Every structure is written in structure tokens, then in C-alpha cells.
Structure 1
């Protein structure tokens, strides 16, 4: 209901919901069944289909259970020996034809938060982009808790997004990676043992971490912050200026849950007034 209302989908006649079953054989086939429905809309109706899969790990898990019931020798970490084949058979059907297309958004459960686990790793190989949610970032109170170091996208290319966007994105990833590398030193020896350059890296990285928080309209009830819509150019400009050190004098709290960078400046002034 919320999805229909939010994107104004009044005509629900072209929507289909396919649910799983309790039995492993049924759960192993439900993903293929849903994909067949999507292919019908694409090939017979000539439509562009948006296919949501929640959760693709259940497809892998069901295949593993069926494999065990059939007496097959398991492969790495106990998964079925045909894991790569099973996943490829399904994922490669999600494609574009002359009549229409299928675009899929898939939720992926990551066992023990291990991205190298065969189940998620096999799935990642077929995706154009991955958005990784991190418990560590959520613990900092930063939402959405997206990890920019583990998340990937094939369109992160200067020929597609533009040179400035690409350079700023890579700059953000570099400074966050440098900060991550320094965290063990900080935990053992403290900030005072860092060089001035490293201290500056840490300060800018912490500002960037908080600027990555986003006050979404759909999350107002959870965050308590009014939702903001910020144009892409404004977002790139904000991160570029932080990387260049233009806001080294602002406290990191001023970058939390704000829209454009100008709001961070206004928030910093407000914080200064409150502490004066």
C-alpha cells in the first residue's frame, strides 16, 4: 500500500506478488516462478518490469536443503555443489529484450555479516550495484547505515557520472579508508599520537561520515528529522568542499542529518550560539 501511494501506482492490475512456501522444494522454485511472471509481463505485454526479491538468500538456502535431501556432497561452508549454476540460471534471465526489460532489486541476507560467504558472494557477481548496510554505522546513529567502502556500482565511471562526481566519490572513499586504517592506532594510543596530517584526515572523515546521513521523508517517524530533497549537484559540491578543507572549522555534529551543505553551516552557527 505504501509503495503504491508513494509512487502513485493507481493501476494495480499489472502487479503480481509471489510468495514462498514452508517446504524447501517449494521455496527453491518460488524465485523462478516470480521471475517467470516477470518475463510474461516483459515478453507478452511488452512492459518494463520492476522485480523485487526478498530475500534471495532463501532461494540459496532452499537449494542447499534440497541438495542435502538428495544426498549430494556439499561444497564450501555446506552449500550445494551447484550453487553457482543455480544462481546463474536465475540471475541471467533478468535482462533486457527488444520488447521490454526486467530490473530487479534484491534483498540479500549476509550470514554472520561475512561478505565473502559463498551465498552472497555468488549473488554479488551478477549484480550491477550493491548497497551494503552496516551494523557498525547503524550503531553510530547514522542512517541510512550504508557502508560506502563495501558498496559498489558499475556506473561509477567518469564516462557515465562525469569526472567531478567520480573524483569526489573516490576521494570520499579514500579518506574513509584512511580513517578506518587509523582506528586501531586511535583505540590503542589515542588521538594525541597521530601526526597533524592524520588528525586532519580523521576530522574530515568524521564530518563526511555524518554528512552521509540523510533525513528521508519516509523515515521522519524514526529519525525525528524533517525529510529533505537535495539535488545531486548540491550533494557533490558539499562533499567536495569538505574534502578541500573548507569546513575544517565547523564541528562534526553540524553535519549530522542535514540537507545541503549550507544547512550544516547554519547548524554550526546555532550550536555556537547555544554554547556561548
Structure 2
């Protein structure tokens, strides 16, 4: 039977040899991020560093897979734009980059929906959203809705 295991990552460095070697043997990793917690997003799961072997189109289906990869791409593009935003500001971004930032921020807010496990941190009653509705919501964000 699978069981969750907590792994201490020294200085939050996922490339440290000890955790990096361990991660290779796990079916899934859920990485909690201090930076995401500082944004008030709970649970503070980092969708870019977290992994799962079942994130495969043959297992989760092509729509789920494509939407998940699309969300990750937007978040990765946003992450790479953050230095430019910090130095030059939003006004210096191209229109396409501004759309990426807007979509990434919507995704971040979507990820901070009221989860039952986060009630203690947010003070908001948790809600259960079916997977189908979650995929639909992310798909709408990716489409610019």
C-alpha cells in the first residue's frame, strides 16, 4: 500500500543529492513552497516542482493531460518573466507576455480556492470541486475566458 512520506529538503534545494536521489524512486512528489505560502495560497503546493507518474495521457486522458501541461507552461513562462517584471515593470512586457501574466495570476487564484485542508490557514470553509469542473475551469483560463 502506498503511504505518504515527508522528505526534508535542505535549504529548499530540490537539486541537493539526497532528495534528488530519493525523488527518482517515488511515484509522485508534492512540493510545498514557502514562496507560494507567502502569497497566501494554501495548500502551498508548487505545481511546477510537484510530479506524478500518472500524469500520462493514457492514464488521465488527453484533455486532462493537455490542460495540466498548458497550466504548467503558463506558470513556467510567468516564472521566467518575474525578473523582467521586477526590474522593468509590467509596462515593458509585450502584449503576449502581459496575457501570460494575467493568465498565470488567474491560475494562482484558482489554485487558492477554498480547500478543506486549508481551512485552518484561510478561515474559509472548504469546498469539493469535481475533477471534471476543475479541468473545465483551467481550460477556460487557458482560453482567456
Name the TM-score class by shorter chain: over 0.9
Alignment check: 8 A CA contact 2:43 2:118 kept: no
CA pair 218-170 structure 1, distance change in 2 beyond 3 A:
closer
Alignment check: 8 A CA contact 1:168 1:240 kept: yes
Alignment check: 8 A CA contact 1:149 1:173 kept: yes
Alignment match, 1:273: 144
- Count of aligned residue pairs for this structure pair: 145
Q: Is 1:121 the counterpart of 2:20 in the alignment?
A: yes
CA pair 195-217 structure 1, distance change in 2 beyond 3 A:
same
Q: State the Cα distance separating 1:217 from its structure 2 match.
A: 2.5
Alignment check: 8 A CA contact 1:217 1:228 kept: yes
Alignment check: 8 A CA contact 2:42 2:121 kept: no
Structure 1 unaligned residues grouped into runs of 5+: 1-101, 243-270
Structure 2 unaligned residues grouped into runs of 5+: none
CA pair 273-230 structure 1, distance change in 2 beyond 3 A:
closer
* 1-structure distance, mates of 2:92, 2:26: 42
> Deviation string for 1:125-175 (max 9, x for gaps)?
110000001111000000010111111100000000000000000000000
* 1-structure distance, mates of 2:143, 2:105: 19
TM-score, normalised by the number of residues in structure 1: 0.50
Larger radius of gyration: 1
Q: State the Cα distance separating 1:273 from its structure 2 match.
A: 23
SS at match of 2:41: coil
Alignment match, 2:62: 163
Across the aligned residues of Structure 1 and Structure 2, the Cα RMSD in angstroms comes to: 3.7
Q: State the Cα distance separating 1:218 from its structure 2 match.
A: 4.0
TM-score, normalised by the number of residues in structure 2: 0.94
